[in-house]
Amino acid sequence: MNQTYPVCIIGAGLAGAECAFQLARHGIKTALVEMRPQKKSPAHSTSGMAELVCSNSLRSSDVTNAVGLLKQEMAALNSLIIRAAHKAKVPAGTALAVDRTLFSDLVTNTLSTNPCVTVISGVVTGITQGAQGLEVSLASGQVIRCERCVIATGPLTDEGLAGWICENTGHEYLYFYDAIAPVVEKESIDFNKAFYASRYERGENENGDYINCPMTQAEYEAFVSEIKKAELAEVKDFDRALFFDGCLPIEEMIARGDHTLLFGPMKPVGISSGERLRGDRNMGQVCSPDRPHAVVQLRQDNLHDTLYNMVGFQTRMKWPEQKRIFRMIPGLEQASFARLGAMHRNTYICSPAVLKEGLELKNVAGIFFAGQITGCEGYVESAAAGLMVGLFLSRLIKQGGLLPAPPATTALGALINHILCADKNSYQPMNINYGLFKEIELKAKKFDRKVHLLKRAVNDFWEWYYREF
């Protein structure tokens, strides 16, 4: 029998999974359609929900960092993603990093055993307005009927649906590229040269949370010189790439100057390499005995503590080049790579032009967008957008009107405000940051301003929460 679902969510990534969970919490039935494992995106490698395609970090938990506050607001709203992240947590200093397999398993199990969620495997190619609501078409020929639909297909939305979105938003697609960083097997790291430490000793483990590979000036210069000569993988439409600064490939960073890495992923500050540098390695003239010239950091990637990813080393160098050049890093000479870096398309719509309140498409009623495709950036932000759409829709379905978004003085409100109200002529994906929060009238030092923004955010969030729930 062909049933009509109140909501059909396309994509079981971070946004789609969170959205389905929020709707289920309110007793609303959803069809959750996911193309994997039938069809894999260029970056996903499993069939699990909420797969983290690159870093295993959900970034800082410190509330003076806006993403820390965003996570707290999400937790207050019963976020599945945040709950699963805490259960799958691995040591990473002040960051919330997870064992990606356990994290995805927790999300998958929660949703696939929820009676309100029907998980359907298939590739969505388009949506039409039928006699009794919306009809979501799959490549297999199957049609899912629903009253409302949420598109949460992420930065790697499959081409058929991307074409449909393009036709129905009436706006040309924007593209930019993201790159992923390599992952190294821990047992292949040489601990005569590498060592554990956290920057400024701000870690959970007494000995430090990160594996550090220190470099002399000569080693750094040789390394940079090889990267400059490395062969790069061809990327379609590369000339249309709009790079997002937080995820620049290392070769692009080096193109901005030989020393750029020293102020980015290889900055030597906050790490004393102590005895190791005083030992048998000559660290050269310019570094003090306690401070290397440059440091490559590797962060734990799984609970078993066997895999480590190279922090900030996203790249589009060809794979043989990556192996050759990354093995120049002291401690990684014999590195065995569980995954090498790569670059991928990242697709998003011009939300301020095409979406309205509730993140609903202006020109096709009943179609909502959630996640990175709306032009937020990052795992946490994508899940946050999924959470809000889940809450907007729950209220709409249960009470006939949309839930008012939290004020733009809060992290969730600032994110929704960015998606709907940013300048449509220069719209670019954005991580949550205090710069997106509503301005505060206050002449004060940067840190004091942040404290005021934080206090106001906490106050306004709870005011909104108690008013609405």
The yes or no reply on residue 315 touching ligand FAD (CB under 6 A) is: no
Counting contacts by CB under 6 A, is residue 157 touching ligand FAD? yes
CA dist 214 and 298 (Å) reads 11
332 counts as binding ligand FAD under rule CB under 6 A: no
Rg (CA), the chain: 23
Give the range of 23-31, 211-219, 316-324, 368-376 binding ligand FAD by CB under 6 A: 368-376
How many beta carbons lie within 10 A of that of residue 54, not counting itself? Answer: 20
Provide the 3-class DSSP secondary structure of residue 452.
Answer: helix
Structure tokens at 157: 């939305």
182 contributes a contact to ligand FAD by CB under 6 A: no
415 binds ligand FAD (CB under 6 A): no
The answer to whether 418 contacts ligand FAD (rule: CB under 6 A) is no
**48 or 292: whose CB is closer to ligand FAD?**
48
Instruction: Give min distance, CB of 384 to ligand FAD, in A.
Output: 10
Minimal distance in Å, beta carbon 289 to ligand FAD? 34
How many residues line the site for ligand FAD (CB under 6 A)?
37
- Pick the binder of ligand FAD from 8, 15, 74, 262 (CB under 6 A): 15
Is position 155 an interface residue for ligand FAD (rule: CB under 6 A)? yes
Query: Contact between 154 and ligand FAD (CB under 6 A)?
Result: yes
Q: Name the minimum Å distance from CB 255 to ligand FAD.
A: 20
Q: What is the dihedral of CA 112, 10, 429, 95, to 10 degrees?
A: 0
Nearer to ligand FAD, 75 or 328 (CB): 75
Phi and psi, residue 308, nearest 5°: -135, 130
Cβ-in-10-Å burial (0-12, 13-18, 19+) of 218 comes to: middle
| CB of 287 or CB of 359, closer to ligand FAD | 359
Q: Is 297 in the site for ligand FAD (CB under 6 A)?
A: no
Q: Spell out the residues 6+ positions from residue 241 whose beta carbon is closer than 8 angstroms to its own.
A: 175, 176, 177, 235
Out of 203, 214, 375, 378, name the contact with ligand FAD by CB under 6 A.
Answer: 378
Among 36, 71, 100, 316, binds ligand FAD (CB under 6 A): 36
- By CB under 6 A, name the one of 144, 152, 311, 419 that touches ligand FAD: 152
Any contact of residue 123 with ligand FAD (CB under 6 A)? Answer: yes
Site for ligand FAD (CB under 6 A): which residue of 80, 124, 354, 393? 124
The verdict on 153 binding ligand FAD (CB under 6 A) reads yes
371 lies in the site for ligand FAD, by CB under 6 A? yes
Instruction: Give me the sign of the Cα torsion angle 312, 19, 108, 342.
Output: negative
Query: Rule CB under 6 A: is residue 20 a binding residue for ligand FAD?
Result: no
Contacts with 46 (C-beta within 8 Å, 6 or more apart), sequence order: 36, 101, 104
Which listed range, 49-57, 217-225, 289-297, 389-397, lies at the site for ligand FAD (CB under 6 A)? 49-57
Does position 379 interact with ligand FAD (CB under 6 A)? The reply is yes
Distance CA 221, CA 78 (A): 49
Q: According to the binding rule CB under 6 A, does residue 33 interact with ligand FAD?
A: yes
Answer yes or no whether residue 41 interacts with ligand FAD by CB under 6 A.
yes
Rounded to 5 degrees, what are φ and ψ at 215?
Answer: -130, 145
Best CA proximity match to 218, nearest among 363, 100, 328: 328
Could you give the CA distance from residue 71 to residue 28 in angstroms, rounded to a whole number?
24
Q: Does 372 bind ligand FAD (CB under 6 A)?
A: yes
Per-position DSSP letters for 199-261, written without gaps between them: GGG-SSSTT-SEEEEEE-HHHHHHHHHHHHH--B---TTGGG----GGG--HHHHHHT-TTGG
Q: Is the CB of 162 or the CB of 397 nearer to ligand FAD?
A: 162
Using CB under 6 A as the binding rule, whether residue 9 contacts ligand FAD is answered as no
Among 70, 116, 134, 161, binds ligand FAD (CB under 6 A): 161
With CB atoms as reference, the residue minimizing the distance to ligand FAD is 13
Q: How far is CA 232 from CA 227, 228, 252, 343, in A?
A: 10, 10, 11, 10
State the Cα–Cα distance between residues 316 and 230, nearest whole angstrom. Answer: 10
Give the number of other Cβ atoms within 10 Å of residue 370's Cβ: 34
CA distance readout (Å), 419 to 193, 194, 358, 427:
46, 42, 11, 9
**Nearer to ligand FAD by C-beta: 24 or 33?**
33
Start-to-end CA span in the chain (Å)? 36
Copy the structure tokens of residue 313: 């080393």
What is the maximum span of the chain, computed from C-alpha positions, in angstroms?
Answer: 78
| Interacting residues with ligand FAD (CB under 6 A) | 10-16, 33-36, 41, 43-44, 53-55, 123-124, 152-158, 161, 178, 180, 344, 346, 371-373, 378-379, 382
